[in-house]
């Protein structure tokens, strides 16, 4: 089930990104030869009009194949070739994927703020904090713990306490005893008796649960999009700041790949978000969309930002690069990206053992 949810989320993100390229390419009169979800080998496809729509075996991405995007000689002087379009038109097409991911994040956050978007209490203040619905949520349950044996699950809301500190104090006062915990699950109020361990294993609490003090922000339908724009901008800035900090630490030799997660880690994170509730899954999807936008705008070969960089250099020097050289650079960049993804995936798997 976790993998299915992850693939649905991934499909939404990839389709939004590639739809941006596709629609702007069509708008600028570029011939789109293929719109693909995933990377080859191809599983199945359907041609409609001049475009082949394909579904491919490697699901971690997608592509829009445009006539002349690699500068092949056959496309020279073809008015519908990407390479023959103006700098402005080509830049619009490349940036459109990033823009659509940010727009998707804004739409998702708008919906979430209308139905009630969860966030950590420490991230808001003032009027927002005063209007928020505060909750103590179980975000992890240790195996073989008292809480696990008594049926507590990720996403359960502990009720009857003002904050986590108040609940932890209550637990400490009853070590070695059974305590009654009242909680909500799916809108239903439940209760259970849980034994409070006096000497829990290292890294676990007396009950064996980890908690998060969450608040749910909710706005009217007309205020939600305005607030969502502010939240999307803030999340994008924080994502950029975190990414550049990580890259700078890598350059200095102090960065660790354990700080990032790959496909395996994202599957687990998606599953955890889904367990906490639909609003958490929406928030996580919006964050993934923002991350996808930020990564794609980096000036690295094979990414949209890398293609923009080479286009800008060509514009300044007034001369195009050799198409074979550019192809090799982007191929090498793609190969390095695949290697990094495999490395991070290995780190993800290693964390499981």
Please give the positions annotated as active site: 18
At which residue do the structure tokens 């929406």 appear?
282
Q: What angle do CA 45, 47, 50 make, to 5 degrees?
A: 140
Q: For residue 327, count CB atoms less than 10 angstroms from its CB and return exposed for 0-12, middle for 13-18, buried for 19 or more.
A: middle
Nearest in space to 275 (alpha carbons), one of 206, 186, 169: 186
In the chain, DSSP assigns E strands to 32-48, 51-66, 117-120, 133-141, 157-158, 178-185, 188-195, 209-217
The beta-carbon contacts of 79-82 under 8 Å, at least 24 apart in sequence, are 79/29, 80/29, 80/30, 80/31, 81/30, 81/31, 82/25, 82/30
Contact between 145 and 204 (Cβ < 8 Å): yes
Q: For residue 269, count CB atoms less than 10 angstroms from its CB and return exposed for 0-12, middle for 13-18, buried for 19 or more.
A: middle
Residues 6+ positions from 88 with CB-CB distance below 8 Å? none
Helical (H) or strand (E) element with 205: none
Q: In the beta sheet, which residues pair with residue 185?
A: 188
As a dihedral over the C-alpha atoms of residue 71, residue 77, residue 81, residue 85, rounded to 10 degrees, the angle is 90
79: helix, coil or strand? coil
Nearest in space to 200 (alpha carbons), one of 159, 143, 137: 143
Cis bond upstream, residue 120 (ω within 30): no
């Amino acid at each position: 089930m976790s993998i299915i949810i992850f693939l649905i989320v991934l499909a939404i993100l990839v389709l939004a990104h590639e739809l941006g390229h596709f629609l702007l390419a069509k708008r600028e009169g570029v011939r789109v030869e293929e719109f693909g979800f995933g990377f080859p080998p191809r599983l199945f496809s359907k041609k409609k009009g001049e475009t082949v729509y394909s579904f491919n075996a490697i699901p971690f991405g997608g592509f829009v194949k445009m006539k002349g995007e690699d500068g092949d000689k056959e496309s020279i002087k073809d008015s519908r070739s990407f390479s023959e379009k103006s700098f402005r038109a080509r830049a619009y097409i490349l940036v459109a994927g990033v823009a659509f991911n940010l727009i998707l994040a804004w739409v998702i956050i708008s919906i979430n703020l209308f139905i009630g978007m969860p966030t950590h209490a420490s991230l808001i203040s003032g009027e927002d904090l005063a209007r928020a619905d505060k909750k103590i949520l179980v975000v992890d349950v240790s195996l073989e713990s008292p809480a696990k044996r008594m049926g507590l699950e990720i996403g359960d809301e502990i009720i009857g306490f003002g904050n986590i500190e108040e609940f932890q104090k209550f637990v400490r006062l009853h070590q070695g005893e059974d305590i009654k915990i009242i909680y909500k699950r799916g809108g239903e109020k439940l209760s259970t008796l849980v034994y409070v361990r006096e000497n829990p294993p290292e890294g676990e609490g007396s009950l064996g649960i980890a908690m998060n003090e969450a608040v749910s922000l909710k706005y009217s339908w007309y205020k939600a999009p305005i607030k969502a724009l502010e939240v999307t901008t803030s999340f994008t800035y924080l994502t950029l700041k975190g990414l550049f900090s990580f890259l700078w630490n890598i350059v200095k030799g102090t960065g660790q790949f354990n700080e990032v997660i790959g496909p395996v880690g994202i599957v687990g994170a998606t599953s955890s978000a889904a367990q906490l509730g639909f609003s958490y899954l929406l928030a996580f999807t919006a964050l993934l969309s923002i991350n996808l936008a930020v990564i794609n705008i980096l000036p690295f070969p094979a990414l949209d930002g890398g293609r923009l960089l080479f286009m800008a250099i060509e514009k300044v020097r007034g001369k195009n690069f050799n198409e074979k050289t550019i192809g090799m650079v982007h191929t090498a960049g793609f190969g390095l990206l695949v290697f990094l993804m495999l490395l991070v995936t290995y780190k993800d798997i290693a964390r499981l053992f």
